[in-house]
Amino acid sequence: MARRGVDTVFGIPGGASLSIYEEMSSMDLRHILGRHEGSTVFMADGFSRVSRKPGVFLGTSGPGATNAVTGVATAYTDSSPVICITGQVATQSMGRDAFQEADSFNLMVPVTKWNFKLKHGAEIPRVINRAFRIATSGRFGPVAIDVPSDVVSKEVDEASIQWADEPSLANSSDLSELANAVSMIRNAAKPAIIAGGGVRWSDSGDVVIRLAEKIGAPVVTTVMGKGGIPEDHPLALGTTGMHGRRSSHWVLNEADLVIAVGTRFSDRTTGKTSGFLPNAKVIHIDIDRAEIGKNITGVVGLAGNSADVLNAIMSGLDYQAESRSEWVKKVSEVRTFCQCDFDLPGNPIKPQKLMSSLSRLLPDDAILTTDVGQHQMFASHFFETRGRRQFITSGGLGTMGFGFPAAVGAKIAAPERKVVSIVGDGGFQMSYSEFITAVENEVPVFTVIMNNQSLGMVRQFQKQFYGNRVYAADYRRSPDFAKFAEAMGGEGVTVEKASEINEAIARGLKSDVPFIADVRVDINEDILPMTPPWMGQEGTIYGRCKWRDVKVEEPQNIGN
């Protein structure tokens, strides 16, 4: 691992991995000792998403490996290149129900890009090299290595060691439909672009913007694509999908051509597919050719690195924005119509007010991580990613407990940047033991708890779709999170009034120790608008959103 440039390892040792730890103890590696394997993998994942390098997790056998599975599955669904190394019982003990034995190899198969079980110490360098290359070639993803304790505890003859460093794995590309795609763009009157998570992983947001400016196309993002382009750009319309901005929905409904870049068209993006993109042809660009045409059929597919594919498209186009001036003007009007004032006053605090304050006060290179739930969608909808701001969330698996540990890993990867974790009180309690990990390792993460003393999204669904029968969603007792932070060696503040938000944010950003702002928000404020996936846009619930007064059949009147 040292030869691969690894300088940080996230892990929890156990009997089956002590031989590895014994060797690491004499090396110049930083080890972050977590409190739970699942959360510790989240740290490695957050590290990967910021550094774009493999984050390494090292655990033990049995429960150490099974606890790690959720973290690895989270990395898998979001294409994060985590290397998960777990100890295993000795080879002669396998299959005998030995102490802390679990078939971690087969447990990991469905949630990894590749999986290894070591059989001899001589193959360790070759396997490690291959694991790193697989994790970061093509579509990124986690790789698991199962290491029997006897394999790493034996001496190996120097001559037998397999040092072969495999050649780089070339990204598979298919541009056979390039000419067709260029022709479709030339002939389109109302083109639009969807930027997904692949845009962020490939760091190709600037190329997406250049194409958008060249052809006069608005850009919407998926939740995983948020942060891939600056949202203060005049052609950026924010996130789309279940809790996305209605301006992005309007654009996708009106467009006659959609260029989808690095997105798998998940159900949270498309909703009911029969009503998705009603007037548009689709060009689907993805590094993973298996995703092209999988969820949305009848597409023109281009496989490859998104930056390379987009540059190839632009090389075949002349400047076309002027010919679509009316479309660009209308998009601008819709964008302006959707720029709501959500700095909502009053108490109890509205989540929109909190998001407004964070958008205004966080630096332009801040990293924002979220957990999963209402707060995640409030952040996705209302927090503006501009400049170098980065947005990290568990989008595919939707794993509660992800947000705070991911922030710890992100801060370790980028110590010079402010890292803020937006979490719900429910999700934070699933991994808040890692707060002491942050204190112990002097990782000053700023955590904002959107505290409504409930599982907010569960509560919202019960209100909207289960006859307002709220059951098993509200917490009758909750910790004093500010005192918890102080007890763990950090700092904290409780925020109960809207007038206290700005000061709390300023304190959190200045703190040189892990800091918690426990913001008590309105339990009755739902994240709206919301389009239930099974209902389509005709079933959208708008709440206070002014799009509720816009007739679907008369969208052309917006801005007039």
Residue 238 and residue 383: Cα distance in Å, rounded?
10
Residue 316 and residue 529: Cα distance in Å, rounded?
39
Q: Give start-end residues of each CATH 3.40.50.970 domain in the chain.
A: 2-160, 351-520
Interacting residues of 187 by C-beta distance below 8 A, sequence separation 6+: none
Q: Which long-range contacts (CB under 8 A, 24 or more apart) does 510-514 make?
A: 511/444, 511/446, 512/444, 513/439, 513/442, 513/444, 513/489, 514/435, 514/438, 514/439, 514/443, 514/444, 514/445, 514/446, 514/447, 514/485, 514/488, 514/489, 514/490
Ranges of H-type helices in 306-434: 306-315, 325-337, 351-361, 374-382, 403-413, 425-428
The two three-digit tokens of residue 255, written as one number: 């467009």
User: What is the DSSP annotation of 179-209?
Assistant: HHHHHHHHH-SSEEEEE-HHHHHHT-HHHHH
Digit-by-digit pLDDT tens for the chain (560 residues) are: 988 899 999 999 999 999 999 999 999 999 999 999 999 999 999 999 999 999 999 999 999 999 999 999 999 999 999 999 999 999 988 888 889 989 999 999 999 999 999 999 999 999 999 999 999 999 999 999 999 999 998 889 888 888 876 666 656 799 999 999 999 999 999 999 999 999 999 999 999 999 999 999 999 999 999 999 999 999 999 999 999 999 999 999 999 999 999 999 999 999 888 889 999 999 999 999 999 999 999 999 999 999 999 999 999 998 777 889 999 999 999 999 998 889 999 999 999 999 999 999 999 999 999 999 999 999 999 999 999 999 999 999 999 999 999 999 999 999 999 999 999 999 999 999 999 999 999 999 999 999 999 999 999 999 999 999 999 999 999 999 999 999 999 999 999 999 999 999 999 999 999 999 999 999 999 999 999 878 778 889 999 899 988 865 455 566 55
Closest C-alpha to 142, from 46, 223, 45, 13: 45
Closest C-alpha to 283, from 201, 395, 186, 207: 186
Entry pTM: 0.95
3-state secondary structure of 305: coil
Name the residue with tokens 């409190």: 35
Residues in the chain: 560
Cβ–Cβ < 8 Å for 108, 69:
yes
Q: What is the layout of strands, in order, in the sheet containing 143-148?
A: 30-33, 8-11, 56-59, 83-88, 143-148, 114-117
Q: What are the respective helix, strand and coil percentages of the chain, to the nearest 5?
A: 40, 15, 40
Predicted confidence at residue 552, as pLDDT, reads 53
Q: Give start-end residues of each CATH 3.40.50.1220 domain in the chain.
A: 178-337
Q: What is the CATH number of domain 2-160?
A: 3.40.50.970
Look up residue 29 and give its DSSP letter: -
Answer whether the bond into residue 125 is a cis peptide, omega within 30°: no
CATH domain 351-520 topology: Rossmann fold (3.40.50)
Pick the CATH number of 178-337 from 3.60.21.10, 1.20.120.450, 3.20.20.70, 3.40.50.1220: 3.40.50.1220
Interacting residues of 294 by C-beta distance below 8 A, sequence separation 6+: 264, 265
The two three-digit tokens of residue 317, written as one number: 């186009």
